[in-house]
Structure 1
Amino acid sequence: MRGVAEPFRRDVDGLTGLLILAIVVSNAGLMPTAAAPAAVECLFVVAGYLVTVRLVDACADGRPDLVEVVDRGLRRVVPAMLVVLAATTLLAIVVTPPGELAAFGLDLSASVLLVANIRFADPAFAAGHAREDSLLLHMWLPSALLQLAAIGTAAAAAMHRFAPRSLVLPAVGIAAVLALGLVLLSQPQLERPGYLLTHHHAWSFLAGALAALIALPARLPAWGRQGLAACALVLIGLAVLAPPPNGQSLIGTTALGVAAAVAMLASNAHGPTLAGRLLALPPLRLLGLMAFSLYLWHWPVLVGARLFVGEDMPLVESGLAVGIAFGLGYLSWDLVETPLRREHMKRSWRLLVGGMASAVMVIVGVILTASGGLPERNPQTAQLEESLHRLATRSQRAACLASDAALPPAADCTDGPGAASGGAEVILWGDSQGAHFAPALASLARDMSFSVRQITKPDCPPLLAVAQTGRNAADDVECATFTEAAIEEITRQRTTRLVIIAGLWSRLTDDRPIAGADPGPFTLLADHATASESVADSRRVFARALQSTVSEITSRGVPVLLVGQVPELGFDVVTCVLRARFNERDERACMETDTESALARLAFSNGVIQLIADGSLMIEAYLPAHSICRKGRCKVAHGGTPIYADDRHLNDIGSTLLAGDLASMIAPHLFASSGPMPPQRPSRL
Structure 2
Amino acid sequence: MSDTLLLPRVTAGASAPRPRWDGMGFRPDVQGLRAIAVGLVLASHAGLPHTAGGYVGVDVFFVLSGFLITSLLVKEVFDTGRISIAGFYARRARRILPAASAVTVATAAGAWLFFPVTRLDAVLQDALAVIAYYVNYRFVAEQSEYLNADQMPSPFQQFWSLAVEEQFYVVWPLLLLALLLCVRRSPRRLVAAGIVFSAAIVAATLALSVLVTAQSQATAYYAAHTRAWELAAGAFLALILPQLKRLPQALAWLLGIGGLAAILASGLLYTETTPFPGYAALAPVLGTMAVIAAGSPPGRNPVSGLLGTGPFQFFGKISYSLYLWHWPVLVLAPLALDVEPTLRLNLVLLVATVGIAQLSYAWIEEPARNWKPLKTSSTAGIAAGLACALLSAALVLTLVHVFPKAERDGAGGAIAPVAASDLTAALQAGLETDTVPADIAPPLADIADDMPVVYPDGCHLEYEQTDLPDGCVYGDPDADTLVVLAGDSHAAQWFPALEALAEREGWKLLDRTKSSCTSALVHVGSTRTDGEYTECWEWKQHVADEIDELKPDLVVYGSTDNYGIIGADDPAQAWADGWTATLDRTTAAAAHTAVLTDTPWATGEAAPDCLALHQDDASRCLDENPYALNHLEFREAGRAAQEATDAQVIDTEPWFCIDDRCPLIVDGIAVYRDKHHISTPYSLYLTDVLGAALPDLS
| TM-score normalised by structure 1 residue count | 0.82
Structure 1 stretch displaced more, 481-490 or 384-393 = 384-393
Structure 2 partner of 1:358: 389
Q: Does 1:613 align with 2:642?
A: yes
Structure 2 partner of 1:136: 156
* 1:312 aligned to which of 340, 349, 352: 340
Q: Does 1:604 align with 2:633?
A: yes
**Compared CA separation, residues 260 and 656, structure 1 to 2 (3 A):** same
**Compared CA separation, residues 424 and 378, structure 1 to 2 (3 A):** closer
* 1:34 partner amino acid: A
Residue 443 of structure 1: how far off its partner (Å): 4.1
Residue 662 of structure 1: how far off its partner (Å): 4.2
* 2:474 aligned to which of 398, 411, 414: 414
SS at match of 2:296: coil
Q: Does 1:83 align with 2:102?
A: yes
* 2:236 partner amino acid: L
| 1:614-635: CA deviation from partner (whole Å, max 9, x where unpaired) | 443x234445457645544444
Runs of 5+ consecutive residues of structure 1 not aligned to the other structure: 510-524, 675-685
Structure 1 partner of 2:168: 148
| 1:412-469: CA deviation from partner (whole Å, max 9, x where unpaired) | 6423xxx231555331112222111122333444666655432223344445685755
Structure 2 partner of 1:301: 329
Contact 1:4 1:53 in 2 (8 A): no
* 1:40 partner amino acid: V
Residue 389 of structure 1: how far off its partner (Å): 6.3
Larger Rg: 2
Residue 331 of structure 1: how far off its partner (Å): 0.3
**RMSD, aligned α-carbons:** 3.7
* 1:70 aligned to which of 89, 96, 105: 89
* 2:253 partner amino acid: Q
Question: For the residues of structure 1 that align with 2:274 and 2:311, how far apart are their CA atoms?
Answer: 38
Structure 1 partner of 2:460: 401
Contact 1:310 1:576 in 2 (8 A): no
Q: Does 1:587 align with 2:614?
A: no
**Compared CA separation, residues 121 and 213, structure 1 to 2 (3 A):** same
Question: For the residues of structure 2 that align with 1:226 and 1:505, how far apart are their CA atoms?
Answer: 54
Question: For the residues of structure 2 that align with 1:324 and 1:189, how far apart are their CA atoms?
Answer: 40
Structure 1 partner of 2:75: 57
* 1:492 aligned to which of 532, 542, 549: 549
Residue 239 of structure 1: how far off its partner (Å): 0.3
Contact 1:52 1:209 in 2 (8 A): yes
Residue 144 of structure 1: how far off its partner (Å): 1.1
* 1:438 partner amino acid: F
Question: For the residues of structure 2 that align with 1:40 and 1:423, how far apart are their CA atoms?
Answer: 60
Q: Does 1:666 align with 2:697?
A: no
Contact 2:460 2:512 in 1 (8 A): yes
SS at match of 2:36: helix
* 2:341 partner amino acid: M
Contact 2:607 2:625 in 1 (8 A): no
SS at match of 2:598: coil
**Compared CA separation, residues 561 and 280, structure 1 to 2 (3 A):** farther
* 1:167 aligned to which of 184, 188, 193: 193
SS at match of 2:48: coil
Question: For the residues of structure 2 that align with 1:101 and 1:594, how far apart are their CA atoms?
Answer: 20
Question: For the residues of structure 1 that align with 2:288 and 2:93, how far apart are their CA atoms?
Answer: 25
Question: For the residues of structure 2 that align with 1:191 and 1:590, how far apart are their CA atoms?
Answer: 33
Structure 2 partner of 1:48: 66
Contact 2:115 2:613 in 1 (8 A): yes
Structure 2 partner of 1:13: 31
Question: For the residues of structure 2 that align with 1:197 and 1:625, how far apart are their CA atoms?
Answer: 42
* 1:291 partner amino acid: S
Structure 1 partner of 2:513: 456
SS at match of 1:187: helix
Residue 124 of structure 1: how far off its partner (Å): 9.0
SS at match of 2:167: helix
Q: Does 1:577 align with 2:603?
A: no
Aligned pairs for 1:628-643 within 5 A: 628=656, 631-639=659-667, 641-643=669-671
Aligned pairs for 1:286-435 within 5 A: 286-345=314-373, 346-347=376-377, 348-370=379-401, 373-375=404-406, 384=440, 387-388=443-444, 396-397=452-453, 398-399=456-457, 400-402=459-461, 404-405=465-466, 407=468, 410=471, 413-415=473-475, 419-421=476-478, 424-435=481-492
Residue 550 of structure 1: how far off its partner (Å): 3.8
Structure 2 partner of 1:567: 600
Contact 2:198 2:236 in 1 (8 A): yes
Residue 353 of structure 1: how far off its partner (Å): 3.0
**Compared CA separation, residues 200 and 74, structure 1 to 2 (3 A):** same
Residue 22 of structure 1: how far off its partner (Å): 1.8
| 1:547-572: CA deviation from partner (whole Å, max 9, x where unpaired) | 54444434435554344432321422
Question: For the residues of structure 1 that align with 2:331 and 2:579, how far apart are their CA atoms?
Answer: 40
SS at match of 1:186: helix
Question: For the residues of structure 1 that align with 2:182 and 2:572, how far apart are their CA atoms?
Answer: 56
* 1:349 partner amino acid: A
Structure 2 partner of 1:518: none
Question: For the residues of structure 1 that align with 2:577 and 2:59, how far apart are their CA atoms?
Answer: 38
| 1:593-646: CA deviation from partner (whole Å, max 9, x where unpaired) | 5669x64x5123313412432443x23444545764554444433256431011
| 1:499-530: CA deviation from partner (whole Å, max 9, x where unpaired) | 22223441x33xxxxxxxxxxxxxxx65xxx4
Structure 2 partner of 1:514: none
SS at match of 2:694: helix
Residue 232 of structure 1: how far off its partner (Å): 1.6
Contact 1:233 1:260 in 2 (8 A): yes
* 2:639 partner amino acid: Q
Question: For the residues of structure 2 that align with 1:294 and 1:589, how far apart are their CA atoms?
Answer: 35
Question: For the residues of structure 2 that align with 1:409 and 1:422, how far apart are their CA atoms?
Answer: 18
| 1:392-422: CA deviation from partner (whole Å, max 9, x where unpaired) | 7665223243465554554x6423xxx2315
| 1:2-35: CA deviation from partner (whole Å, max 9, x where unpaired) | 7885243111111112211221232232345623
Q: Does 1:35 align with 2:66?
A: no
Contact 2:479 2:506 in 1 (8 A): no
Question: For the residues of structure 2 that align with 1:252 and 1:423, how far apart are their CA atoms?
Answer: 56
Structure 1 stretch displaced more, 12-21 or 131-140 = 131-140
Aligned pairs for 1:503-518 within 5 A: 503-506=559-562, 508-509=563-564
Question: For the residues of structure 2 that align with 1:188 and 1:385, how far apart are their CA atoms?
Answer: 40
**Compared CA separation, residues 131 and 277, structure 1 to 2 (3 A):** farther
Question: For the residues of structure 2 that align with 1:608 and 1:5, how far apart are their CA atoms?
Answer: 67
**Compared CA separation, residues 478 and 334, structure 1 to 2 (3 A):** same
Contact 1:628 1:635 in 2 (8 A): yes
Contact 1:189 1:195 in 2 (8 A): no
Question: For the residues of structure 2 that align with 1:259 and 1:602, how far apart are their CA atoms?
Answer: 41
**Compared CA separation, residues 587 and 120, structure 1 to 2 (3 A):** same
Contact 2:330 2:346 in 1 (8 A): yes
Residue 89 of structure 1: how far off its partner (Å): 2.6
SS at match of 1:255: helix
| 1:51-72: CA deviation from partner (whole Å, max 9, x where unpaired) | 2222222223333334333322
* 2:67 partner amino acid: Y
Structure 2 partner of 1:264: 291
Question: For the residues of structure 2 that align with 1:340 and 1:13, how far apart are their CA atoms?
Answer: 20
Residue 349 of structure 1: how far off its partner (Å): 2.5
Question: For the residues of structure 2 that align with 1:643 and 1:60, how far apart are their CA atoms?
Answer: 67
Structure 1 partner of 2:208: 182
Contact 1:7 1:50 in 2 (8 A): no
Contact 1:609 1:621 in 2 (8 A): no
SS at match of 2:443: helix
